[in-house]
Chains A and B, each alone.
Chain A
Amino acid sequence: MTTQHKLIKRLIGSTALAVALTGSAALAEELRFTVWTGSDAHLSMLNGIADGFKETHPDVTVKFETIPFGDYVQKITLQLAGGNPPDLGWLLESSAPTFVDAGVLADVAGTLKGTDGYDFEDLSASAMGLWQDGDAVFGVPFSTSPFIVYYNKSLYDAAGLEHPDTLAAKGEWTWERLKQDAAALKDGDSGVWGFQSVDGQGYGSRVLHTLIPIIRSYGGVAWTDDACGLNSDEAVAAISLYHDMIFKDQSAVPPGEQGDFFTGNAALTVTQLSRVSKLKDAEFEWGIAPLPAGPAATASVIGQAAIVAFAQGKQKDLAADFLAYMTNAENVAVMAAFFPPARQSVLEGDAFLSSNAAVTPEQMKIVADGIANGAVAPGHVAYPQIDSAMRPKFDALWKAEAEVKATLDEVCAAVESHL
């Protein structure tokens, strides 16, 4: 019997040891900050800001933790539910209503307004919309980034086509034109597609980011407070254009295929300024243009991300201090190289136009104009549910024989059950 006891004890002991060995103890003066970027350029910029914070808070280190974009919201939620919350983090606009509503974000209004030289009023009111509730402030956008067109200049020149930014200056840059160009530039033999959806995720998580710019320029909306607009005539016309690009022209990267703009396998794409960091080693010339115009308008769509402090965090005051430091005018100017700011003073200054060495001031002007005219991408308190209800219905759209209008009616039925 004693041998048995000994063995069992040893087993329990070894399990406990394994637990002790692997448990990670957080340092008292460490702030955990979750981000979804793994880019060296972004992280060294962020670490630079954290180093600056050390001048006033020598004992504080900020640890930036990268969580892949696809798992981000889910992982943050698990950390919150699991009692292991980060102190601060990035949050995407689509999650804002859900997180604000759930009460998991700390109100940092007091800290921001009480910090000397912060100049809260400088933050543009429209950019702050999602992150404010009365006097409470639940986050400060660090990126108010319009969707813009990236084009492969080498391919355009080889085909003898006029550049999109030149066309835009003449007022001739339309979605129809983009469709024509994409069809002309597609070259199946060398594995080059005409157009890639936002981050190549246009048939998955980025379906709205891909379609909304077209829909809005055709005069449509995704949804209002009580109705879905995705099956309106405007939206159907807009989505039909994209559907034709995929299945009639076969110029857009179709679902189930890979064709990446940033590796030179697609001639055009729509995405945001921060993706410039992916063009560092590009073996082709590239350019930036505004979003094309549609029959109704030149719509600009803004994707937004904010820095938030979590209400459950163990060092809420310190976290709020760092949030204030990170979003002061000086640091916002630093981050502006990748993330167009919500601070008017920075946005309007000349320094912004030359903040990123890889982007010319003229190109940066396109970004600044996009912010000035843009509206934030659609969001909702029930966004996760809407997204999940909507996506299987959208799947049915990505077939050559799909009836666009009928399919969108189904999408809308799914969306409306959650509005």
Chain B
Amino acid sequence: MTQTAPRTKLTLRAREAIAGWLFVSPITIGFLIFFVGPLIAVVGYSLTEWNLLTRQSTFVGMDNYVDALSQNPDFWHVLKNSLVFAAGLVPLNMALALTLAIALSRPFRGVVIFRTIFFAPVVTAAVAWAIVWSFLLQGESGAVNQMLAVVGIDGPNWLRHPDWAMFAVIVTRVFKTVGLNMILYIAALQSIPRDYEEAARLEGASGWQVFRLITWPLLAPTTLVIMVITVVGSLKVFDHIYLMTGGGPENGTLVLAFYIYEQAFEFFNVGYAAALAVILFVLIVALTITQVILKQRSQPQ
């Protein structure tokens, strides 16, 4: 915080504190009601066996956790899927976004058209994007495989093969979301003063050196924000997978968010779904704390 310190009276500090809390209170109160409260409730639910349809619940202690962590093989499988999805999507998305941004950050004839093209999927309903792509990715008659056939490649049955299905949902998701990151990077690139680059060029730096030593470090804050947005988005992915593969084939694309939804609203196992949610929450908090610690350690440098 770079704020000037309160100069004179304690009452000013008190007034500041009141103002501060008043400013944050609307979102904090809503956050308590619609997020923290429900989260506490989830912990309660997770200790019960609760059927949404019969509306009967019995206290079962830690059974749901034991079930998820040691009995039911699905959980680890699903967790692995979620991590694979994020690990595939985040780097691919960011690399493509940066490449496109560098290509499109300077004006040339048609630049607006290309920017629009790459941004267009972002404003398209995810539902529509998933539907069109599931058509294009059909086994034989799909446009993708027909195009591949032209160059002599016999494409797989994308959405029906457990490994290819994950690949297909990741790539089509990248196409859907990369435009927003691209725009963020373009914005960041445009705000870097041109003098820096020109000065380096005059000293004989190559294009790659300019990028590595000047552009990339200056993009670091943007990269951080983009990474947060993208990681969050990848952990939350639901509709895309729900519509393209329904979690299949052979549960190959079943991710945590989808699994929780399915357990609660299709099999009515509210208690089990809640236990899954709590486990997910603990994992995410652990991840966040680790990040904070790592960041603090690296700061002195």
Interface residues of A (CB under 8 A from B): 1, 4, 8, 11, 74, 77-78, 80-81, 98-99, 101-104, 191, 203-204, 254-258, 384-385, 388, 391-393, 395-396, 398-399
Question: Per a CB cutoff under 8 Å, which of A4, A11, A103 touches B54?
Answer: A103
Residues of A within 8 A of B249 (CB): 255, 392, 395-396, 398
Q: B218 to nearest A CB, angstroms?
A: 38
Contact assessment for B250 and A256 in the assembled complex, using a CB-CB cutoff below 8 Å: no
Report A-chain residues with C-beta under 8 Å of the C-beta of B105. none
Check: B22 CB closer than 8 A to any chain A CB: yes
Mark out the residues of chain B between 120 and 146 whose CB falls within 8 Å of any chain A CB in the assembled complex. 135, 137-142
Interface 9-mer from B192-200, B262-270, B292-300: B262-270
* 10 extra A-B contacts, CB within 8 A, seeds A258-B138, A385-B267, A396-B249: A74-B265, A74-B266, A104-B53, A104-B54, A203-B160, A256-B137, A256-B157, A258-B141, A388-B266, A392-B250
14 cross-chain CB contacts under 8 A: A1-B22, A8-B26, A99-B53, A104-B54, A204-B246, A204-B248, A254-B139, A257-B140, A257-B141, A258-B138, A392-B249, A392-B250, A393-B250, A398-B249
Q: Is B79 an interface residue (CB 8 A)?
A: no
A255:B139 contact, CB within 8 angstroms: yes
Residue contact B22 to A4, C-beta cutoff 8 Å:
yes
Q: Is the CB of B26 within 8 A of A257?
A: no
Contact residues, B43-81 vs A (CB, 8 A)? 51-55
Which residue of chain A has the shortest Cβ distance to B156 in the bound complex?
A256
User: Which residues from chain A contact B55 at a C-beta distance below 8 Å?
Assistant: 81
Question: In the complex, what's the smallest C-beta–C-beta distance from A176 to chain B, in angstroms?
Answer: 26
Q: Contact between A256 and B54 (Cβ–Cβ < 8 Å)?
A: no
Q: Is B158 interfacial (CB 8 A cutoff)? A: yes
B54 to chain A, nearest CB (A): 4
Could you say which residues of chain A place their CB within 8 Å of the CB of B248?
204, 391-392, 395
Minimum CB–CB distance for B258 against chain A, Å: 12
Q: Please indicate the chain A residues that have their CB under 8 angstroms from the CB of B22 in the complex.
A: 1, 4
Q: Are A384 and B251 in contact (CB under 8 A)?
A: no
Among A258, A384, A395, which residue has the most Cβ atoms of chain B within 10 A?
A395
Q: A74 to B266: give the CA distance in the assembly, Å.
A: 6
Q: Is A255's CB under 8 angstroms from B246's CB?
A: no
- Complex Cα distance, B246 from A31, in Å, reads 34
Q: Is the CB of A388 within 8 A of B250?
A: no
A274 smallest CB distance to B (angstroms):
25
- How distant is B130 from chain A, measured CB to nearest CB, in Å? 14
Which residues of chain B come closer than 8 Å to A399, judged between CB atoms? Answer: 161
Q: Which B-chain residue is minimally distant from A80 (CB atoms)? A: B53
In the complex, the answer to whether A11 meets B26 with C-beta atoms within 8 Å is: yes
- State whether the Cβ of B189 lies closer than 8 Å to any Cβ in chain A: no
Contacts of B260 in A (CB 8 A): none
What 1/0 mask marks residues of chain B from 144 to 161 whose CB sits below 8 Å from any chain A CB? 000000000000011111
In the bound complex, residues from chain A placing their C-beta under 8 Å from that of B52 are: 77, 81
How close is B92's CB to chain A, nearest CB, in angstroms? 23
Please name the residue on chain A nearest to B263 by beta carbon: A388
Interface size grouping (class) on chain B: 20 to 34
Interface residues of B in 230-287 (CB under 8 A from A): 246, 248-251, 262, 265-268
Compute how far the CA of A83 lies from the CA of B71 in the bound complex, rounded to whole angstroms: 34
Among A103, A385, A388, max chain B CB count under 10 A is at A388
Contact check: which of B26, B54, B246, B250 meets A396 at CB < 8 Å? B250
Q: Are B267's CB and A384's CB within 8 A?
A: yes
Taking a contact as CB atoms under 8 Å apart, the answer to whether A398 and B160 are in contact is yes
Question: Which residues of chain A come closer than 8 Å to B137, judged between CB atoms?
Answer: 256
Q: Are A102 and B141 in contact (CB under 8 A)?
A: no
Residues of A within 8 A of B251 (CB): 392, 395
| CA A102 to CA B50, docked complex, whole Å | 12
A81 to B159, CA, bound (A): 34
Residues of chain A within 8 A (CB-CB) of B267 are 384-385, 388
Q: Report yes or no: B250 in contact with A102, Cβ–Cβ below 8 A.
A: no
Q: Is the CB of B53 within 8 A of A395?
A: no
List the A side residues contacting B135 at CB < 8 Å. 258
Which residues in B have their C-beta under 8 angstroms from that of A396?
249-250
> Is B139 a contact of A257 with CB atoms below 8 Å?
yes
Q: Which residue of A lies closest to B55 (CB)?
A: A81
Contact residue among A4, A8, A77 (Cβ-Cβ distance under 8 Å from B268): A77
Leading 9 A-B pairs by shortest Cβ distance: A395-B249, A256-B139, A256-B160, A102-B54, A395-B250, A392-B251, A255-B160, A102-B53, A256-B157
Q: Once the chains are docked, how many angstroms separate the CA of A81 from the CA of B57?
A: 13
Which residues of A sit under 8 angstroms from B138, Cβ to Cβ?
Answer: 256-258
Chain B residues with CB under 8 A of A11: 26
Chain A nearest CB from B190 CB (Å) reads: 35
B157's closest neighbor in chain A, by CB? A256
Residue with the highest number of chain B CB atoms closer than 10 Å, among A78, A81, A103: A81
| Chain B contacts for A74, CB-based, 8 A | 265-266
Contact A102 B51 (CB under 8 A): yes
Q: Note all chain A residues with C-beta closer than 8 A to B157.
A: 254-256
User: Could you tell me the distance between the alpha carbons of A95 and B132 in the complex, rounded to whole angstroms?
Assistant: 32
A413 to B122, CA, bound (A): 43
Nearest A residue to B159, CB-CB: A256
A203–B22 alpha-carbon span in the complex (Å): 56
* Contact, CB under 8 Å: B262 / A388: yes
**CB proximity of A240 to chain B, nearest CB, Å:** 19
Question: Cβ of B158 and Cβ of A256 under 8 Å apart?
Answer: yes
- Cα A385 to Cα B51 in complex, Å, equals 13
A77 to B51: give the CA distance in the assembly, Å: 11
Question: From residue A121, how far is it (CB to closest CB) to chain B in Å?
Answer: 32
Closest to A75 in B: B265
What chain A residues lie within 8 Å of B141 (beta carbons)? 191, 257-258
B262 to chain A, nearest CB (A): 7
Chain A's nearest CB lies how many Å from the CB of B261? 10
A102 to B52, CA, bound (A): 10
Query: How many Å lie between the Cα of A98 and that of B267 in the bound state?
Result: 11
Task: Tell me the nearest residue of chain B to A191, going by C-beta.
Answer: B141
A102 to chain B: which residues have CB within 8 Å? 51, 53-54
**What is the bound-complex CA distance between A391 and B74, given in angstroms?**
14
Which residue on chain A has the smallest CB distance to residue B267? A384
CB within 8 Å of A: which B157-184 residues: 157-162
Residues on A with C-beta less than 8 A from B265 are 74, 77-78
